[in-house]
Homo-oligomer: A and B are copies of this chain.
Amino acid sequence: MNVELITIGDELLIGQVIDTNSAWMGKALNDLGFEVNRITSVRDTKDAITSSLKEAMDRVDVVLLTGGLGPTNDDITKHTLAEFFNTKLVFNEQIYEDVCGFLKGRVATINELNRMQAYVPESCVPIRNTVGTAPIMWFRIGQKVVVSMPGVPSEMKTTMTSDVLPRLKELFPTGHIIHQTILVHSLGESTLAELIADWEGALPSFISLAYLPSPGLVRLRLTARVAHEAEGRRAIAAAVDGLYPLIGTHIYGQDDQRPEELVALLMKQKQLTLAVAESCTGGLLGHLITSLPGSSSFFKGGVVAYANSVKEDLLGVDAKDLLTYGAVSQQVVEQMAKGVRQRLKCDYAIATSGIAGPDGGTEEKPVGTVWIAICGPNGVLSKRHFFGAIRERNIQRAASTALIELLTLVKSD
């Protein structure tokens, strides 16, 4: 089943905002067996919206639109769709209640612009927006479906996940698509591809393989398109078994979960507590962990020890060692981990200290040098890494590597 996406907004065309919605939607649709065969970004004008929608409807049966649904004058998607589908805007009591409920406590008074959000085209099936005030409109035109959603990524994602994807799946049943992700660390994409080239060449034709790299990690995604689910699962399992002799030491998981999610699962399961002492990661480890709901059950907190004085005063790092070995050293990073574990009274602690760049590198410790220490009840594991030249990537690689090293140590303890 083919789908087209239309993203609406001047900001996309003048380059002020990167269209990240389309990639998210493309992946989500693909996972369900739908194929996105065109993405179109157009301006907030009636002509642009109307002509792109007409063209898309001529090509495919499902067209998903995002954007142009805000309360202000520059947002015209709703009016344009009403005109395009020859219908009029009508006031919807339920939407108005939802808008009021959402805005309660957020704004002093519900104004006319907010009230106008409750007008929707008469011929659409409104979908309730639980995380914003923009209307969400599902149109059925003969066999075709057109859905208009907000461009705000969190609103689009909530709507897609809870309503649009399940409705599409029900309306347009697809064959079985089985995905299996293998999580690989500490191997570059091209090295990995070389190591598994023969294995990849021998995959059955109904299994496709995708490499999804992120800093320090590669997710290998196997996708089987089959008539019978059991057959697909067997084939995938056999393929995965074949990977372990080749790259087993680099595989850290088999579900599409981020390292921090795996850490959270393990810590909760084993009823352990965690603290962090962050120098070069500067708070990212804490942020990744606390992004997960319920993280307070195992994560106590930590110290962002950016300045050396903080390493001394809050973590008890020896001033002499800082002077002798430098902040980016095994001695210091181990003391940071031990210090934060002891002071926060946790089972495990992570510490990072490195040179993220672009400045601060030396011949002996170039930009990208990062020391990571994991401290647990049975001792400390510390390792030096050389990442790369780009600050942002170094920070992210340091964080994901640290989380994977924590997983390794906790599992072996």
Contacts and interface: CB of A to CB of B under 8 A. Distances in A.
A188 B43 CA distance: 23
A310 B302 CA distance: 8
A87 interface: no
A17 B113 contact: no
Contacts of A408: none
B74 A211 contact: yes
A361 interface: no
Contact of A283 (B283, B296, B391): B283
B18 A20 contact: yes
Contacts of A309: 300, 344-345
A152 interface: yes
Contacts of A188: 106-107
Contacts of A291: 282, 391-392, 395
B283 A154 contact: no
A27 B105 CA distance: 38
Contacts of A16: 23, 27, 210, 212, 221, 256
A225 to B, nearest CB: 12
Interface stretch (A32-40, A139-147, A231-239, A373-381): A32-40
Contact of A15 (B26, B38, B111, B223): B26
Interface string A341-355: 001110000000000
A282 B275 CA distance: 12
A69 to B, nearest CB: 11
A358 interface: yes
Contacts of A388: 106, 131
B107 A210 contact: no
A277 to B, nearest CB: 10
Contacts of A310: 300-301, 344
A352 B38 CA distance: 44
A128 interface: no
Interface in A280-322: 280-291, 293-296, 299-307, 309-310, 313-314
A327 to B, nearest CB: 10
Chain A interface category by residue count: 35 or more
A207 B49 CA distance: 22
A287 B288 CA distance: 10
Interface stretch (A6-14, A118-126, A168-176, A247-255): A6-14
Contacts of A27: 14-16
A190 B113 contact: yes
A283 B399 CA distance: 12
A301 B290 contact: no
A114 B345 CA distance: 47
Interface centre among A307, A358, A393 (most CB of B within 10 A): A307
Interface string A72-91: 11100000000000000000
Interface string A317-339: 00000000000000000000000
29 contacts: A10-B208, A11-B212, A12-B23, A12-B39, A13-B37, A13-B39, A14-B27, A15-B24, A15-B27, A16-B210, A70-B213, A71-B193, A74-B210, A74-B211, A107-B188, A131-B389, A152-B213, A282-B287, A283-B285, A283-B289, A284-B287, A286-B304, A290-B304, A290-B356, A293-B391, A300-B310, A302-B303, A310-B344, A313-B344
A-B CB proximity, top 3 nearest: A283-B286, A282-B290, A15-B27
